[in-house]
A and B are shown apart, each in its own frame.
Chain A
Amino acid sequence: MRRLISLSLLLIVALGISLCFSGAYFGAEGANRAGKLAQDRVNFGQRYNSRGLEENGAGNIVASVVVNYRGFDTLGEVTVLFIAAVGLAVVLSTRREKPARVRAEPASLVVFTGCRFLFPLILLLGSYIFIHGHLTPGGGFQGGAVVASGFLLVYLGCRGKGLRSAGFTVTESLSGLAFVVLALVGLAVGGSLLLNFLPKGSALTLFSGGVIPIIYVAIGLKVGSELGSIIANLSGEAP
């Protein structure tokens, strides 16, 4: 009972904070202030929105911000993901005190065949999402997550077909290397990291955006293989 009271008290506090925060939206003067605030607030984003298409040639401004304008942040983010995956593998990989796991029953023929049928389709969807990341919503992170969910389906449906973690390691090393090499080529060609040095192409077609689709494909492969290796390690399938 006390916990229920404290929870509802927390909800009331949340209501109060949000009313304070959005107070600018009430009343005529408040609406005016909110308009000015919005103008100031989206100044930077407005610049990206108005110039992004001609500067990078990518229709999706979010992709162009992630890969090009704030690409250094993304490099750091991928590093964090890599360190988390390595740390998870190290933490879970001690040989001793491994409990005797109950061997799961193999899946029925229908489930097995269905999973083997669906797995390439899921991989196709994921690669579609990250190849078209500069044109439509989606990109490397979302496509990588879809690819990793395909590996999850293989683990759940095809018991006995263990996920091989060597392939994950090779894929994520190569794609991370591709990301860093492309960033450094930009530094060598034009003097700034992650410079968009390739020709932009005609806007809103598949071959546009210069270096953005290539880096997004690399990010997609890296995220997919790292999330897949996280799943393989946590589920206890990896050697």
Chain B
Amino acid sequence: MIIFQTFVVLVMIVAAVAAARFGDLLNAVIACALVSLMASIIFYFLQAPDVAMAEASIGAGLTTAIFIFAINRTVRYERNEKTD
């Protein structure tokens, strides 16, 4: 079980780094949803099923939708990424 939890934490960290580094904001938002999903699995293992349900439905579901609506009304790509 500890091996599985370590794996989940590592996936979460990798997804967070991906969310930090993706230039395409849509990909970054999807990575953010993956972070929330892994966090909800960790909440379940920390014996907090209430928080796990809230994180899975709000963090991985609604937050992604809200970000995508905002990206839809602004720009998709993080431009001028390479010039600085």
Direct contact between A and B judged by beta carbons closer than 8 A: yes
Chain A residues with Cβ below 8 Å from B52 are: 137
Q: A149 touches which one: B20, B49, B62, B73 (CB < 8 A)? A: B62
Determine if A137 and B57 form an interchain contact, defined as CB atoms under 8 angstroms apart: no
* Stretch touching chain B among A138-146, A160-168, A189-197: A138-146
Determine if B54 and A148 form an interchain contact, defined as CB atoms under 8 angstroms apart: no
Determine if A60 and B50 form an interchain contact, defined as CB atoms under 8 angstroms apart: yes
Asked if B1 is at the interface (CB within 8 A of a chain A CB), the reply is no
Determine if B66 and A145 form an interchain contact, defined as CB atoms under 8 angstroms apart: no
Determine if A145 and B49 form an interchain contact, defined as CB atoms under 8 angstroms apart: no
Tell me the complex Cα distance, A235–B21, Å.
27
Tell me the complex Cα distance, A202–B14, Å.
48
Determine if B57 and A149 form an interchain contact, defined as CB atoms under 8 angstroms apart: yes
Determine if A152 and B62 form an interchain contact, defined as CB atoms under 8 angstroms apart: yes
**Chain B, range 2-40, C-beta contacts under 8 Å to A:** 13, 17, 20-21
- Chain A 214-239: CB-based contact to B (< 8 A → 1; otherwise 0): 00000000000001001100111000
Determine if A152 and B65 form an interchain contact, defined as CB atoms under 8 angstroms apart: yes
Chain B residues with Cβ below 8 Å from A234 are: 66, 69-70, 73
Number of cross-chain contacts by CB at 8 Å = 50
Asked if B75 is at the interface (CB within 8 A of a chain A CB), the reply is no
Determine if A138 and B62 form an interchain contact, defined as CB atoms under 8 angstroms apart: no
Tell me the complex Cα distance, A219–B2, Å.
36
CB-CB nearest in chain B for A236: B73
Tell me the complex Cα distance, A146–B54, Å.
9
Chain A residues with Cβ below 8 Å from B17 are: 7, 11
Chain A residues with Cβ below 8 Å from B62 are: 145, 148-149, 152, 227, 231
Asked if A62 is at the interface (CB within 8 A of a chain B CB), the reply is yes
Inter-chain pairs besides A137-B49, A234-B66, A234-B70, 10 sampled, C-beta below 8 Å: A11-B13, A60-B50, A62-B50, A138-B50, A142-B50, A142-B53, A142-B58, A149-B61, A231-B62, A231-B69
Q: Nearest 6 A-B pairs (CB), nearest first?
A: A137-B49, A145-B57, A234-B69, A142-B53, A145-B58, A62-B50
